Each structure stands twice: as structure tokens, then as C-alpha cells.
Structure 1
Amino acid sequence: MARFSSEQLHTFAAVLTEGTLDAAARSLNITPSAVSQRLKALEQASGRVLLQRSNPVQATESGHVVLRLARQLAQLEADAELELGLPGESPMVSVPIVVNADSLSVWFLKALTRVPAELNAVFDLHRDDEQYSTSMLRAGTVMAAVTATPEPVQGCRVEPLGSMRYRAVTTPGFRARWLPDGVDVASLCAAPAVDFDRKDEYQHRFLELLGGAARGMEPAGPRHFVPSSQEFAEAIRLGLGWGLLPEPQCGRDIADGSLVELAPERPLDVPLYWQRWRTPSRILDAVTEAVRSTAAEVLRRA
């Protein structure tokens, strides 16, 4: 006899997706009391506390294990319905993926348009830095990730996508004001920089690339934090500071002179990888092929 019912697992996943029991009840078209009863039965069957009753609710360490099971079950059920061609309209299948902001802005959405429409996939996209995105795979929150981590998460397989090339750029006016004597580590450390958020290490990595003396140094000048890829680029175009932009996002600006490169001979290449669950899946296979083909058009191969 199965320890967990499909109904319980679907409800558990819905609660974590929606954030509250009431919202999950609305999405499942059942009462909040029914949601609560299913969660109670699930926790009794597991012998563990699975949810932190915060707002929004959070999975405990044991809850992440059960969430991964619930996601995999939903994926397998959706694939089975597609393979069997069951009568009636097939439900839309949610595919949760975590993607870094620059990939999302530059190329990833194009990849999703290549997933065949007959698979009835809808995408639940999470945004996180590529250095940290594998934590969502481990937690079972997502099925796949664009990541900078080449080591596969347990239960996942990984393949290289290529490298996103970044250019250190600013406006001619900013360079004339802040870097009149040329570009070096000391002058860049003192000049205003634009960071995506407090996880963003690209400007610091560029300083390390520019000169060994930068290791261990932090930019001492003002730092603007702009946590949106398009607005981050716009902040640099408006002359708020210097920063690193993906080559596809700044190539035209460099060509027409509205942006200037600080060190054209020192681009920063960031390798990206695709990690996905190993579970056989027609839907995940299709998403993987779409991601692979689109990345090949945009990213640089080693």
C-alpha cells in the first residue's frame, strides 16, 4: 500500500506553490478544511513535520523531500496522459525552472517558445543568480535550472550550454569624469559601480581579471543596486556607473558609441549549464532540446 496518496501530494505541492492554504484551496477547488485534512494525513503518514506555517508557508527539510516526490509524480502523470492520448482535454502541465536574470532577459524566453504547443506546458519561472540556483533543484522547488554549477545535483543530469560573454562598459561622459587618466584597478574601485544585487560578483570578478592586485579588494566608491536586467542595463546607459553587461545586450551600444568598453581585451566569460531531473519525461526532454538549441545560437562555445 502506498504511504502517500496522489491527492495528498498534489495538495502539498499546491500549498507550497500558492503560498497559503486558502490560495491552494481556491486553485484546487476544494475547501481550506479539506486542504488542512490532507496535509495532516500526509504529515501523519510521513511521521514528520513537512510545513512551516509561516506566511507564505515554507517546506521543512523533510518537506523538500516530499515536494520533490510530488513534483515528480505530477510530471509522470502528465507524461503518461500524453503518451496514452487519453480522451478529453489534457490539463496544462506546470514546469518550474530557475534561471538567472541575464539568461532570462537575453535568450531563455525564446527557448520556451520552441517547446511544442501540444505538450500543454506552462512555465513557472524562478529567478536566481546562476551561482545559487542549484539549491532550488535540491529542494525540489524546480525541475530544471540554468546554472553555473557543473557538478550534477543528486538525481539530476547536467550538460554544458556555452558561455555568456560580458563586457565592462560605461558611457563616454562617465569615463571622462571618473576615469580621465585611464582604466586601472584603483580608479575603478573608486568610481561608482552598478550591481544587480548583493549577490552580484561580476564587477568584482572583472576587477580580479583586470589585475591581480584586485584580489581581496572591494569597490570603495558608490554602488547602485538595480535588481532587474533591463533596468540594470539602462542604469549604465544613463551614466549612473560602470558595470558588466552581456555582449548581446550591449553590442549595438558599443558599436554606435553610446557605451564604451573599459577593457576590450578582457571580456568576462561565464560558463552556463543545464541541470534537469533524470526522471524520463517527454515534456522535460522537449524543454531541454529547446534550451540546448537556443543556447547554441547565443552563447559562446569553448
Structure 2
Amino acid sequence: MNDRALRYFLAVVRAGSIRGAAAVLHVAASAVSRQVAEMEAACGTLLLERLPRGVVPTEAGRIIAEHARRQADEAALLQDRLQRLRGAQRGLVRIRCGAGFLPDLMRHGLAGFSAAHPGITFQVVLGTSDSILKAVAEGEADLGLAYNPQAHPEVDAALVTRQPLVALLPAGHALASQRRPLLLRRLAAEPVALLPADHGIRQMISRVEADGGFRLLPVLETDSFELQRRFVAARMGVAFLPRFALAPEEAGEMTAVPLADPLLAEAAAHLVVRAGRRLPEAAERLRDWLAKHLVCCRPG
């Protein structure tokens, strides 16, 4: 199995189709299909299961894909070490994160780190907790920032910090002066903004609603954290976000009130990496910087 064959096969597994991999690799689909066929002939077994819409790896294919990921990691480490021997302080760090992390990541993470390491560049892609874990596990991202994700066998948490979900209330709201955390059901009569049903935060809220036998009154559903904050600032109602998702300049327009429901109070921010992977120096330095400087990495 040469490097090209492994690279093509890994692209197929990541894209979920021959055509998708060909588009990423900028080659003809026939060239990718030929490489896969030759690998299957050499292994004496099928590596991909053909489905009506795309492909998934067989058990043998998963083993090959894992080998290909390790090869790609080692190649990146080799390039990184050679650059350092030449005195070059360069590198690309690929980050996947939830949208709520963006204000914190830019203001307290990348801005200071970039000033201290001007040769290092970044690729930031937004996603759900599940897609963040998948990208880190498959080597498509070096670092991930996810809010209350499920456990993943191929992902390790470099840092887990308790970051409770809070209710964002318009400034001057009658409940904003409460000294004790609120139960979510206290807000059942309030107009609220909620994330889509497939979002992890919405699923946590739905679980509390189901357990408590009540329903919130959503007047806005959006996957935009900024729009949710603007909803509250416009005094249209209440939103539910982790405290670190509140931009400092908006603090005077809204009040963050802790929620008492255990599921919401125990939520946590995770800084994640691929299990067993040796990170290139640039990613390693950024991981340590984020753990030290991000607000979401300080106990809430």
C-alpha cells in the first residue's frame, strides 16, 4: 500500500463516497476507484461497503483507515520537525468548535497566540458536538472545543471545565435580581429563543422539560448564538447559553442567571484531541495556550 493509495482511501472514508473524495483530492473519480480496487485486490477482501448513497468502511476498511490516519499523523510530525530544524516557526492548526466558543476563542485565544507566534496560521470550522468529535477522531482537526459532548472512544479530553448553562435575561427583568439559581420551569411562561432540535443544548433543555412535565414557549428558533443574544438585548425574551458565549460588550444589555436543574448546572466545556495522537508543535502550543487563556477553560 503506497502513500497515494492510503491517502485516497482515507479521503473516501472521510467523504463517504468516491466522488466526494475525488473532489477533495482534485482528481478523477476513476483514479480513486482504481486505487480502492487495487487495495481490495491486494488485501483479498472488501474494504468498502457500497450503499445506495455513498460508502462506509468494512471492518477491514476501518483497520486500513486507522493505519492511514497514523501514517498521515507521522508525516505531519516529520514535516514539523524538519521545519523546526531549519529554524522555521510555522504551522497550520485546524480547529473545530461550536459557535458559542467563537467570541472567547478569538478574543482570548487566537488573538494573543497569533501575536506571540506570527508564523502559525489557523483553520476554524464550526460544527455540532458530534461533528467536532468525528473530525478530531478522523484526523480532520487537531483540536476541538465542544460543549457537553458524548463520550467518544477515539477522542481524549485535554481539559474538561464545568460551564453551567445559564438563562440570559434582558437587563431589568424581574427575575434578573434573583440570588439563587432558577429552575428552568420558572421560565415556562416567558417567550424564549431556542437552538434547533438536533443541537446538544436544545436536547439538554428538552430532557429537563420532559422530566419536569412542562414546555417552554419558543418564539424564535435559530442556530445563531449571536441572533439569540440580540433577541435578549432587544428585550424580546430569554435565551439559554453557557456564560462564556456572552460577548463582554453585551453584558450591560442582559443578565446571566444560573439554572438550578442538575443536568444544566453540571454541563461542561471540553478541549479535545485525538486519543493517542502526538500533536505537531504548533497544535501542542495552541492547546496549552487555550487551556490557560480561554474563559471557557476556567470553572464557571
Partner of 2:237: 241
- Give CA-to-partner distance per residue, 1:14-64, whole Å, 9 cap, x none: 345567645644654543322221122234445234365666x45436455
Equivalences for residues 185-196 of structure 1 within 5 A: 186=185, 188-196=187-195
CA offset at residue 227 of structure 1?
A: 0.7
- Note if contact 1:52-1:59 (Cα within 8 Å) is conserved in structure 2: yes
Q: 1:291/1:26 Cα in 2 relative to 1: closer, same or farther (>3 Å)?
A: same
Q: Quote the sequence identity (%).
A: 15
Letter of the 1:146 counterpart: L
Q: Distance in 1 between matches of 2:110 and 2:257?
A: 34
Letter of the 2:104 counterpart: V
Letter of the 2:289 counterpart: A
Q: Which of 35, 50, 64 matches 1:38?
A: 35
38-47 or 146-155, larger mean C-alpha shift: 146-155
- Note if contact 2:92-2:123 (Cα within 8 Å) is conserved in structure 1: yes
- Note if contact 2:98-2:145 (Cα within 8 Å) is conserved in structure 1: yes
Partner of 1:69: 67
Q: Gaps (5+ residues) in structure 1?
A: 177-182
Q: Which of 249, 254, 264 matches 1:259?
A: 254
CA offset at residue 166 of structure 1?
A: 4.2
Q: 1:186/1:159 Cα in 2 relative to 1: closer, same or farther (>3 Å)?
A: closer
TM-score w.r.t. the length of structure 2 is 0.69
1:225 aligned to 2:221? yes
CA offset at residue 226 of structure 1?
A: 0.7
Partner of 1:103: 101
Residue aligned with 1:198, SS: coil
Partner of 2:270: 273
Partner of 2:128: 128
Q: Distance in 2 between matches of 1:206 and 1:260?
A: 19
Q: Gaps (5+ residues) in structure 2?
A: 176-181
Letter of the 1:79 counterpart: L
Q: Which of 6, 11, 18 matches 1:9?
A: 6
Q: Distance in 2 between matches of 1:126 and 1:187?
A: 32
Letter of the 2:6 counterpart: L
Q: Distance in 2 between matches of 1:251 and 1:87?
A: 42
Residue aligned with 1:230, SS: helix
Letter of the 1:235 counterpart: F
- Note if contact 1:21-1:32 (Cα within 8 Å) is conserved in structure 2: yes
Partner of 1:300: 298
Q: How many residues align?
A: 282
Q: Distance in 1 between matches of 2:19 and 2:91?
A: 22
Q: Distance in 2 between matches of 1:15 and 1:109?
A: 36
- Note if contact 1:137-1:153 (Cα within 8 Å) is conserved in structure 2: no
Partner of 1:48: 46
CA offset at residue 138 of structure 1?
A: 4.8
CA offset at residue 80 of structure 1?
A: 0.5
Residue aligned with 1:79, SS: helix
Q: Distance in 2 between matches of 1:202 and 1:122?
A: 27
Q: CA RMSD in A?
A: 4.4
Letter of the 1:190 counterpart: A
